[in-house]
């Protein structure tokens, strides 16, 4: 149901990682950026042209407006991890700590890379 908040299910993962947080809380992790805006994080995966690591994952941060939630923009990292399959790259990105994801977000926002 829309708007329904489920209790955390700690058996689903390690909530201190990007993927684990999403699994435990049934929603993506969210952060406050250095600009004071709220951001939620998602893992995206692309095919590469590299036969050694044909898949790569990165973090996509949606910036939300203040007040009523509305999409205001986004920032995205470069490739952070690579893998031989899409699932392998996604899983590797999911193991990134929330602390590391926040460092990535902060660097992107400070560099002015918003879209």
Model pLDDT, residue 1: 43
Instruction: Name the token pair of 19.
Output: 């993927």
Residues 106/35, Cβ–Cβ less than 8 Å: no
Model pLDDT, residue 115: 52
The separation between the first and the last C-alpha atoms of the chain, rounded to the nearest angstrom, is: 30
Please write the tens of the pLDDT for every residue from 44-102.
999 999 999 999 999 999 999 988 889 999 999 999 999 999 999 999 999 999 999 99
Q: For the whole model, what pTM was predicted?
A: 0.90
Average confidence (pLDDT) over 8-23? 95
Model pLDDT, residue 67: 82
Burial class (CB in 10 A: 0-12, 13-18, 19+), 93: buried
């Amino acid at each position: 149901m829309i708007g329904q908040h489920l209790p955390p299910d700690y058996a689903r993962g390690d909530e201190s990682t990007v993927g684990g947080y999403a699994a435990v809380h049934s929603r993506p992790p969210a952060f406050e950026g250095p600009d004071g805006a709220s951001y939620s994080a998602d893992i995206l995966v692309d095919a590469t042209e590299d036969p050694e690591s044909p898949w790569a994952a990165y973090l996509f941060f949606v910036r939300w407006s203040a007040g009523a939630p509305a999409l205001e923009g986004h920032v995205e990292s470069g490739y952070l991890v690579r893998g031989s399959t899409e699932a392998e790259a996604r899983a590797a990105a999911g193991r990134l700590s929330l602390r590391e994801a926040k460092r990535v977000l902060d660097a992107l926002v400070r560099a002015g890379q918003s879209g």
